[in-house]
């Protein structure tokens, strides 16, 4: 049963002209205006999409992760047709306007088929499984569901009812065995099941007839056991083969028939025996056979194509049980290799760096006379032989100074010397520099540090000197101003030092406070000569400046009376203003004038009388 969706075309300024540009063979400008089109969907395909929506209904934030997916919008690919129809289903691709024909004599109505051909949802947080009903979408050519860690369950065998060219399900949580799709299922070009929980033996029967496969990736699953000898012999068009991080064992698979392979990764399995024969492959770029149990001597030319036109640039044979003698390496042996990793193997003896340099196998720094930068020549960019049994390295000063190849020999006996030298620093720590240049560099660093430190210290001293000079100059100016004012009015009060008064009052201790008024507090103080004084500390907030304070001092100094307390002197320090009065004993004026009052109260009356005079003075 087919489902027809009627779509009426509008005037030329709207969508018909857009469709005319895209489908010039299906619609010409002379008949675009007013054309009515029926789009026909296969009802089973629409049912298949609705089954997916039902299986994934627990997906969080479904309105964004599965945008456009809803039961009310049955047609997934109509966004580019009318504005009043809901948008496309996210990730669904359709092939529209196929097999169109006119249904009336006036050529104003036509009927076209629409097929669902693709479903791509990456990192959509899908929750659920893949239902069998996906087989209803028989025209599906691309299925890419990736990065959904809660997309679980087995793969439905009904996938063999589709027309898939690309099946990419990496980084989900599918489980169980990979299903058998039948002997005639051979259309796949890409099969990526990596990063799931598939198990069982190597899916030999399932893939042996996929003769057009270009990418086969089943890495990071739980496939176990050996790979049958003829498992891959029919898949001759492979470009990328990744079987890494499983539990496959036995000998490595035979790959002689796959001549165009570019990327091979068999790492992190349990393969044994000798390395696989890859001499027939001219297009290899990267080979990773690390973390297995391969054994034997490694003569690269015996296992890899080393002709001039080969392209192998990265080879990782680490964490095996291989032996080799680097002294037999030559330009034909290493060929185009740029990175060679042989860590954690059984390589021992001597490594002759000078010989490798002489044969042109290591990159060297070449100084360009027209530029201050360094360029490098071929071949190796990285040579890693860590954790082997290399006890001796032959090199000279030029090998260290001019090398651009990173040579890693950590965890070899050569690196265990207690007295490090240029060689161990270069090959065991990757810090390549001859001692002389190192000492020169250190000397330059010391000189620069001394110069910078001395300069900074001089700047600091000059700043401090300028500050001290400014303060001293201000003090002299203030002292001169005070002397001039006192000479003008012919008064000579004593100018006390602030530290002297501070010591006399024990830093203006509250126990020595005689009282407090609106303008300041009065303290009892004993000077170094033993004289007792009443010291009034004016509040900073009431200070009116030097001139006004001096006027007050002049006024109070000139007032003389036998019943008044005499002003002995003053002190000016930044914002501090202090007046020093004669201290009246308990047996003096208070007994004469107010013998019945408390003696301490009498003393305060005299001091605050002067404060009253200050108020009158300031108001006038």
Annotated binding site for ATP: 536
Report helix, strand or coil for 285.
coil
**Long-range CB contact pairs, 86-93, < 8 A, 24+:** 89/49, 90/65, 90/66, 90/121, 90/124, 91/118, 91/119, 91/120, 91/121, 91/124, 92/49, 92/116, 92/118, 92/119, 93/117, 93/118, 93/119, 93/120, 93/142
Q: Classify burial at 24, counting beta carbons within 10 Å of its beta carbon; exposed 0-12, middle 13-18, buried 19 or more.
A: exposed
For residue 200, the 8-state DSSP code is E
Residue 403 DSSP symbol:
B
* Strands (DSSP E) found in 62-211: 92-102, 109-122, 127-129, 142-146, 150-153, 166-168, 173-176, 190-192, 197-201
What 3 state SS string does 590-616 have?
A: HHHHCCCCCHHHHHHHHHHHHHHHHHH
Q: How many angstroms separate the CA atoms of 318 and 604, rounded?
A: 96
- Phi and psi (nearest 5°) for 447? -60, -45
Q: Taking the CB of residue 595, how many other CB atoms lie within 10 A of it?
A: 9
Give the span between the Cα atoms of 81 and 16, in whole angstroms: 9
Alpha carbon distances (Å) from 348 to 178, 393, 425: 44, 11, 20
Secondary structure element (H or E) that encloses residue 358, with its range? helix 353-358
Task: Reduce the secondary structure of 418-443 to three states and give it as a string.
Answer: CCCCHHHHHHHHCCCCCHHHHHHHHH
Question: Which residues line the annotated binding site?
Answer: 536
Query: Nearest-CA neighbor of 190 among 212, 162, 161, 174?
Result: 212
């Amino acid at each position: 049963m087919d489902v027809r969706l009627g779509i009426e075309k509008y005037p030329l300024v709207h969508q018909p002209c857009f469709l005319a540009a895209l489908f010039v063979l299906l619609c010409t400008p002379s008949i675009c205006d007013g054309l009515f089109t029926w789009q026909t969907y296969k009802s089973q395909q629409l049912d298949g999409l609705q089954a997916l929506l039902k299986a994934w209904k627990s997906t969080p934030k479904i309105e964004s992760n599965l945008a456009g997916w809803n039961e009310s919008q049955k047609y997934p690919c109509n966004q580019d047709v009318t504005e009043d129809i809901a948008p496309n289903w996210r990730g669904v691709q359709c092939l529209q306007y196929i097999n169109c024909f006119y249904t009336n004599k006036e050529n104003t109505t036509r009927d076209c088929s629409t097929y669902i051909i693709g479903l791509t949802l990456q990192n959509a947080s899908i929750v659920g499984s893949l239902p069998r009903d996906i087989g209803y979408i028989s025209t599906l050519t691309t299925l890419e569901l990736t990065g959904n860690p809660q997309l679980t369950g087995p793969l439905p065998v009904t996938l063999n009812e589709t027309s898939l060219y690309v099946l990419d399900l990496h980084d989900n949580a599918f489980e169980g065995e990979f299903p058998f799709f039948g002997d005639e299922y051979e259309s796949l070009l890409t099969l990526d099941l990596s990063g799931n929980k598939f198990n069982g033996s190597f899916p030999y029967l399932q893939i042996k007839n996929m003769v057009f496969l270009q990418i086969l990736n089943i890495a990071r699953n739980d496939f176990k056991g050996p790979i049958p000898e003829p498992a891959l012999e029919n898949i001759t068009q492979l470009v990328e083969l990744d079987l890494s991080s499983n539990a496959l064992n036995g000998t490595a698979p035979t790959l002689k028939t796959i001549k165009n392979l570019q990327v091979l990764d068999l790492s992190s399995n349990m393969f044994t025996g000798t390395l696989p024969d890859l001499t027939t492959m001219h297009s290899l770029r990267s080979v990773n056979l690390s973390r297995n149990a391969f054994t034997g001597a490694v003569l690269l030319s015996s296992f890899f194509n080393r002709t001039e036109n080969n392209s192998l640039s990265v080879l990782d044979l680490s964490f095996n049980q291989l032996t080799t003698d680097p002294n037999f390496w030559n330009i034909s042996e290493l060929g185009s290799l740029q990175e060679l990793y042989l860590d954690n193997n059984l390589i021992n003896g001597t490594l002759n760096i000078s010989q490798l340099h002489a044969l042109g196998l290591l990159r060297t720094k070449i100084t360009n006379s027209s530029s201050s930068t360094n360029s490098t020549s071929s071949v190796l960019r990285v040579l890693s032989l860590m954790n082997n049994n290399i006890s001796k390295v032959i090199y000279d000063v030029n090998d260290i100074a001019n090398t651009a190849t990173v040579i890693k020999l950590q965890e070899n006996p050569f690196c265990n010397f207690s007295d490090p030298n240029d060689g161990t620093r270069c090959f065991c720590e990757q810090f390549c520099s001859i001692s002389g240049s190192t000492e020169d560099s250190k000397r330059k660093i010391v000189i620069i540090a001394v110069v910078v430190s001395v300069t900074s210290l001089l700047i600091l001293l000059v700043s401090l000197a300028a500050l001290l000079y400014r303060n001293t100059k201000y003090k002299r100016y203030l002292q001169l101003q005070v002397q001039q004012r006192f000479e003008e009015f012919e008064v000579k009060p004593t100018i006390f030092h602030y530290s002297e008064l501070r010591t006399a009052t024990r830093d203006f201790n509250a126990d020595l406070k005689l009282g407090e008024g609106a303008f300041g507090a009065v303290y009892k103080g004993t000077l170094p000569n033993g004289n007792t004084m009443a010291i009034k500390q004016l509040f900073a907030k009431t200070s009116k400046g030097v001139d006004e304070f001096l006027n007050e001092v002049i006024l109070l100094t000139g007032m003389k009376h036998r019943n008044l307390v005499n002003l002995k002197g003053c002190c000016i320090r930044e914002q501090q203003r202090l007046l020093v009065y004669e201290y009246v004993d308990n047996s003096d004026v208070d007994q004469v004038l107010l013998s019945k009052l408390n003696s301490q109260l009498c003393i305060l009356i005299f001091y605050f009388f002067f404060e009253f005079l200050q108020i009158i003075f300031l108001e006038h």
